[in-house]
């Protein structure tokens, strides 16, 4: 988990101090994994990067990536939702075959559906995404389809303020 360490600072939006804001929040698994039965999970597979789950006789493949959102007040810094996307078997196989290859950073992006409900006023599950592989050791970058009208998609396109980051911290941690 990353965070903005350092000194307390006073927010220009609300005038309150926001300190030590966490800049990565993540889901441990696709939501369907958490809803699956113990038997389905036992037959499936879940690691920090990939997930395979068979539901109703159909195999589903998931990959974890980062939905990065630029922090407007902190150029060069990002907030990341660590989230899961479902991929076709073909895309999953292609990524698995090249997982340790530095050249995977130049693989063309693959299509995926977002598979986690994030704290937004409209549902985030099934937002269309393009998953960009990066060098080994770096989680793939999830680019939300920019043509979709959704607050999360707008945040990725335009960035968020540190005040908004504080709101996200509050929404996740209470
Ligand atoms: Zn504020």
Distance (angstroms) between ligand 1 centre and the Cα of 10 equals 8
Tally of CB atoms within 10 A around 85: 26
- How far apart CA 75 and CA 95 sit, in angstroms, is 31
Distance (angstroms) between ligand 1 centre and the Cα of 14 equals 4
The alpha carbon dihedral of 97, 103, 107, 111 has a sign of: positive
Residue 1, pLDDT above cutoff 50: no
| Placement of tokens 């073909």 in the chain | 90
DSSP for the chain?
Answer: --B--S--EE-TTT--EE-S-B-EEE-SS-HHHHHS-HHHHHHSEE-SSEEEEEETTEEEEEEEEEEEEEBTTSTT-EEEEEEEEEE-HHHHHHHHHTTT-GGGGGSPPEEEEE----SSSS--TT-EEEEEP-STTSPPEEEE-TTS--HHHHHHHH-B-HHHHHHHHHHHH-
Distance (angstroms) between ligand 1 centre and the Cα of 39 equals 45
| pLDDT of res. 17 | 86
pLDDT tens-digit readout, 25-41: 999 999 999 999 999 99
Residue 162, pLDDT above cutoff 80: yes
Residues 78 and 168: beta-carbon distance below 8 Å: no
Distance (angstroms) between ligand 1 centre and the Cα of 163 equals 4
Residue ranges covered by each domain of the chain: 23-158
Prediction pTM value: 0.92
Distance (angstroms) between ligand 1 centre and the Cα of 166 equals 7
Distance (angstroms) between ligand 1 centre and the Cα of 165 equals 9
Distance (angstroms) between ligand 1 centre and the Cα of 60 equals 40
* Residue predicted with more confidence, 128 or 20: 128
Distance (angstroms) between ligand 1 centre and the Cα of 27 equals 25
Residues 169 and 21: beta-carbon distance below 8 Å: yes
pLDDT tens-digit readout, 104-159: 999 999 999 999 999 999 999 999 999 999 999 999 999 999 999 999 999 999 99
């Amino acid at each position: 988990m990353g965070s903005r360490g350092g000194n307390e600072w006073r927010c220009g939006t609300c005038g309150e101090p926001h300190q030590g804001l966490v800049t990565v929040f993540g889901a441990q698994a696709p939501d369907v994994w958490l809803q699956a039965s113990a038997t389905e999970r036992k037959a499936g597979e879940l690691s920090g990067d990939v997930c395979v789950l068979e539901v109703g006789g159909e195999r589903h493949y998931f990959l974890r990536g980062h939905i990065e959102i630029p922090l407007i007040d902190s150029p060069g810094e990002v907030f990341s939702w660590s989230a899961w996307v479902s991929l076709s078997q073909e895309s999953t196989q292609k990524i698995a075959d090249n997982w340790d290859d530095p050249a995977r950073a130049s693989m063309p992006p693959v299509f995926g559906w977002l598979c986690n409900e994030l704290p937004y006023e409209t549902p985030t599950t099934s937002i269309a995404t393009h998953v960009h592989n990066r060098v080994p050791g770096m989680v793939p970058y999830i680019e939300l389809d920019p043509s979709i009208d959704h607050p999360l998609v707008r945040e990725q396109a335009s960035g968020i303020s540190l005040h908004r980051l504080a709101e996200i911290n509050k929404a996740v941690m209470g």
